[in-house]
Amino acid sequence: MSNAPKSHDDDIEAVASDCEFVDLVIQPRVRDLGGGFRVRRILPFHKRRMVGPFIFFDHFGPVGYAPGEGFDVRPHPHIGLATVTYLFEGAIAHKDNLGSDLVIRPGAVNWMTAGRGIVHSERTPPEERAAGQNMHGIQTWVALPVSHEQSEPAFEHHSADTLPVFELGGASMRLVAGEAWGHVSPVQFPHSIWYLAGEAPDGASFNIPADAARERAVYVAAGELKLGSETLGEGCMAVLAEDCDVPLVAAPGTRFLLAGGAPMPEKRIIYWNLVASDQSLIDKGKADWQASIDGGFDDTVFRLPDGETEWIPAPE
């Protein structure tokens, strides 16, 4: 579900916070990915390109599809990153050129490591397209460390029952990646990462502990929460101050994400769906995609997932 904007710095809304616990509050920018599919884009932007390894953060939905309707993100390439899809509602059919072909549902996570290059598509599954569905979720990209940028591509699906779930001050927390509050996710990533999804149907209150080694952010997917004197509404992200305990109070019905990790020492370049620490890797990825299109995806660097005949051309 990923088409990077033509300019990440357009219509940017970010303000410094007077709250001692918050460095920056980021307001969403709405992007239309085609076919009326709209997302709220948070990362990247010019004042804060990354939070830990997180370099891209999209919030899609909630959106309702009537019977017979759905969304289709045609095959497209990625390099140098891992895409992470997490759903609150709905279902997405994922196919890639490694042979992966499955449907993700709420509470599970799709973790696709692009490495030197992968191609995938995301579509409404046939059953949900026929019946209609509500869709609501988050897609993020995490940059791969330089040592893993050219690694072999891989795909892992972690079902909802394999991810740690625990109660924290009234919130139900699901640990997507990393370690938190004594729990460890089965998701493997070669860099310090911290990613949790929380739901507080009756409200919640707890402290996010200080962590000098991590950059940390809180995102509100639905509802409202407070971080000290800072109130965050739906669609807003707060980048937390370094090395301090942060009190979080969530209103009833709030859904939120905690995301971050150790900062990456090198800057990253984004072109479309390609991420790299060096422009030459971006140039190669772009050229390989065009050569694969020109070659009909026959014995080319990139090939289409089985059964797919469409693709997205790279932007000019």
Token match 């800072």: residue? 230
Find the mean pLDDT for residues 145-164: 97
- Name the band, by pLDDT with cuts 50, 70 and 90, for residue 10: very low
Token output for 212: 């000098």
CA distance 174 to 280: 38
Find the mean pLDDT for residues 31-47: 76
Q: Which residues pair with 180 in a beta bridge?
A: 183
Q: Does the pLDDT value for residue 27 go beyond 60? A: yes
* Nearest residue to 84 (alpha-carbon basis) of 43, 40, 44, 54: 54
- Structure pTM? 0.92
Tell me the per-residue pLDDT of 156-204, one tens digit each, with 9 for 90 and over. Answer: 999 999 999 999 999 999 999 999 999 999 999 999 999 999 999 999 9
* Nearest residue to 138 (alpha-carbon basis) of 13, 237, 39: 39
Q: Does the pLDDT value for residue 72 go beyond 50? A: yes
Contact of 301 with 288, CB cutoff 8 Å: yes
CA distance 86 to 138: 5
Residue 12: count of CB within 10 angstroms of its CB? 13
Count Cα atoms within 13 angstroms, Cβ side, for 265: 4
Contact of 80 with 46, CB cutoff 8 Å: no
Q: Which domains does the chain have, with CATH numbers?
A: 14-262 (2.60.120.10)
